[in-house]
Amino acid sequence: MITRILPQLFRHIFSRAATNLFPAAHMPPSLTDALSDPDSPPNPTVPVGKRFRGRLNYDRSKCIGCKLCVRVCPAHATDYLAEEKKIIIHNDRCCFCAQCTEVCPVKCLSMSSQFMISSYDRKANIVTGA
């Protein structure tokens, strides 16, 4: 495991940050007014970098059920379904570290560019890949 993690660690230390600055250009003059006005338009989406880490994509059909993603996840965001030999991902627990995408031997996990994922429904943030 350590031989797989160390090269990733060094790659991340010496690569450029993949985060955006907050889009201050689209900040409304009054945040209080904007929040109390239901017709207030949302900010336009901002472009994200190639290495942006958004909501996880899971290709269930390619998954071989090896559980490496479950073992490596620091946030316990993945659950293993023993009967099906597949996983589900709780995006509301995910810290977007991308360790699972690096360790997956068949590359069925990937980070998307989707970042508007807040929801009142917890189940809306469970990724089943189905």
Binding site for ligand SF4 (CB under 6 A): 56, 63-69, 72-75, 77-78, 87, 89, 94-100, 104, 106, 108-109
Instruction: Give yes or no for a contact between 65 and 85, defined as CB atoms under 8 angstroms apart.
Output: yes
Closest CB 117 distance from ligand SF4, rounded Å: 12
- Closer to ligand SF4 by Cβ: residue 34 or 68: 68
Strand-pairing partners, residue 86, are 81
Among 123, 120, 99, 121, smallest CA distance to 111 is for 99
Question: Which residue lies nearer to ligand SF4 by CB, 37 or 84?
Answer: 84
* Closest approach of ligand SF4 to the CB of residue 96, in Å: 5
For 20, 35, 48, 81, the CA distances from 93, given in Å and listed in that order, are 22, 26, 22, 17
Min separation Cβ 7 and ligand SF4, Å: 17
Nearer to ligand SF4, 34 or 55 (CB): 55
**What does the radius of gyration of the chain's CA atoms come to, in whole angstroms?**
18
